[in-house]
Amino acid sequence: MADYYKRLGVEKDSDADTIKKAYRKLAMEYHPDRNSSPDAEENFKRVTEAYEVLRDPEQRQLYDRFGEAGIKRSAGGGPAGGFGGFDFADAFEVFMREFGGMGFGDIFGGRASRTSGPRRGGDLKLRLKVSLEEAARGVERGVKIKVLDSCSRCGGSGAEPGTAPERCGTCNGAGEVRQVQRSMLGQFVSVRPCPDCGGAGERILSPCSECSGEGRVRIDRTVQLQVPAGVSTDDYLKLSGRGNAGRGGGPRGDVLVLVEVESDPRFQRVGDDLVYNLAVTMSQAALGADIEVPTIIDGNAMLKIPQGIQSGQALRLRGRGMPRLRDSGRGDQVVRVLVWTPTSLTREERDLLEQLREVESEPPEPDTEEPGFWERVKRAFTA
Ligand SMILES: [Zn+2]
Ligand SMILES: [Zn+2]
């Protein structure tokens, strides 16, 4: 047998005020608009059913004496031991009757107010492609958007000037209609925008000739975007209040700009660092050299290749990488030096290399000399 006191977590001799408070707390917890767990609706229904009996002194007395059988509703006639036809629609009705006038409608998106009255306009989302160099410098861009503006002819009401909208008879101005469907799983209540007024709660008999009754018109506008230096792909720019105008005088939405930084054939971005691959000849690697390398925004930089550099070794040009978006300073340009072995030789090169072979020393055995060299080889293969 269902214990309604237990369901609400109250004592058998609790007063009406305590019961109401207990119900309110549980209903708020289980309300399907706030609680997405699968049994939230069932729990909401159960605590509401219990409350509905215990709040009424007569029902409560019957329940105390005869249990559920004493308060079985005549209407509905649910399955034996079930809820006697008490379904979610009933539960919701009880909840709104008790708390609907206390601002809880707003917390839950207000079933009725959700579809009528002023509403915030939609956000506009757009993608913006910038080159890696633009991302490094920062860039200002004018971007064309199609945005909904309040109609100036009707002032956003949607009604032809001189006429007024009329309350919708289908939904009585609520803007929504409820449908109860019965299925094997029980009753299913769906709430949907009123088909006759589209959720506005009122109908426009003489639509504005400019906006056809929508109250808003789509216009082309150019917005200036300030892309800060250091942005990365998937960073967002947000222009607050620059999106679509709201219905019925509601606030404007935002413009959200999703940045996409195009890849650059020269540089590979790793966080705030830029990796540049530099091929050097065998003699440059052995003897050392000064080589010009391109940077992202500082022109060419002179890089000193130390003598004896190994293939794969990295050199850093400090502060020549990407600006840090949320910090000062810039990352580094990492120059990865790769020793290029010639694939075809001139006669002279062949002669010189053969002479070199006669006199050059052997490369090191693994893990003997040149530990730095073998460390780097290991790292190159595990990276
Ligand atoms: Zn208009
Ligand atoms: Zn309607």
Instruction: Please give the pLDDT value at position 371.
Output: 60
Give me the residue label for tokens 């019965």.
182
The answer for residues whose C-beta is within 8 angstroms of residue 344's C-beta and 6 or more apart is: none
* Centre of ligand 2 from the C-alpha of residue 248, in Å: 15
Number of Cα atoms under 13 Å in the Cβ half of residue 273? 13
pLDDT confidence of residue 282:
95
Distance 158 CA to ligand 1 centre (A): 5
Helices 40-54/57-66 angle, 10° precision = 100
Judged by its nearest atom, the ligand closest to the C-alpha of residue 192 is: 2
How do the domains of the chain map onto residue ranges?
A: 4-107, 268-382
Gap from CA of 198 to ligand 1 centroid (Å): 17
Regarding pTM above 0.85, the answer is no
Sign of torsion, CA 82 84 85 89?
A: negative
SS3 282: helix
Going from the Cα of 254 to the center of ligand 2, the distance in angstroms, rounded, reads 28
Distance 210 CA to ligand 1 centre (A): 5
Q: Are 31 and 108 in contact (CB under 8 A)?
A: yes
Give the separation between CA 280 and CA 52, rounded to whole angstroms. 85
Place of tokens 């699968």: 38
For helices 40-54 and 88-99, angle between their N-to-C axes, nearest 10 degrees: 60
222 CA to middle of ligand 1, Å? Answer: 22
Q: What is the pLDDT of residue 106?
A: 35
Spatial separation of the C-alpha atoms in residues 213 and 160, rounded to whole Å? 8
List CB-based neighbours of ion ligand 2 within 5 Å. 168, 170-171, 194, 196-197
Q: Domain 4-107 has what CATH class?
A: mainly alpha
CA of 177 to the centre of ligand 2 (A): 8
Cβ atoms 240, 185 nearer than 8 A: no
Question: At 298, which amino acid appears?
Answer: D
Ligand 2 geometric centre to CA of 179 (Å): 14
The packing angle between helices 40-54 and 16-30, to 10°, is 170
- CA 251 / ligand 1 centre spacing (Å): 17
Ligand nearest to the CA of 159: 1
Ligand 1 centre to CA of 217 (Å) is 7
Superfamily (CATH H level) for 268-382: Urease metallochaperone UreE, N-terminal domain (2.60.260.20)
Rounded to an integer, what distance in angstroms lies between the CA atom of residue 2 and that of residue 141? 66
What amino acid is encoded at 325 in this protein? L
Cα 215 to averaged position of ligand 2 atoms, centre (Å): 17
Taking the chain (383 residues) in consecutive chunks of 10 residues, what is each chunk's mean pLDDT? Answer: 87 91 88 77 87 87 81 42 55 70 38 54 91 96 92 89 88 84 71 80 87 89 94 91 86 92 96 96 96 97 95 94 93 96 95 95 74 64 49
**For the CA of 213, the nearest ligand:** 1
For residues 149 and 214, give the distance between their C-alpha atoms in angstroms, rounded to a whole number: 11
- The Å distance, Cα 215 to ligand 1 centre, comes to 5
Backbone φ and ψ for 35, nearest 5 degrees, come out as -115, 120
**CA 346 – CA 210 distance, rounded (Å):** 79
Tell me the C-alpha distance between 12 and 54, whole Å. 10
> Residue 260 to residues 149, 257, 321, 356: CA-CA distances in angstroms?
28, 9, 18, 51
Helix axes 88-99, 16-30, angle to 10 degrees: 120
Instruction: Output the pLDDT for position 7.
Output: 92
Expressed in angstroms and rounded, the spacing between residue 245 Cα and the centre of ligand 1 is 13
Question: Which ligand places an atom closest to the C-alpha of 158?
Answer: 1
Radius of gyration (Cα) for the chain, nearest Å? 37
Q: What is the rounded distance in angstroms from the CA atom of residue 6 to the CA atom of residue 21?
A: 14
Distance 150 CA to ligand 1 centre (A): 8
Helix (H), strand (E) at residue 27: helix 16-30
Distance 148 CA to ligand 1 centre (A): 12
CA of 375 to the centre of ligand 2 (A): 75
How many angstroms separate the CA atoms of 285 and 238, rounded? 49
How far apart are alpha carbons 43 and 99 in whole angstroms?
18
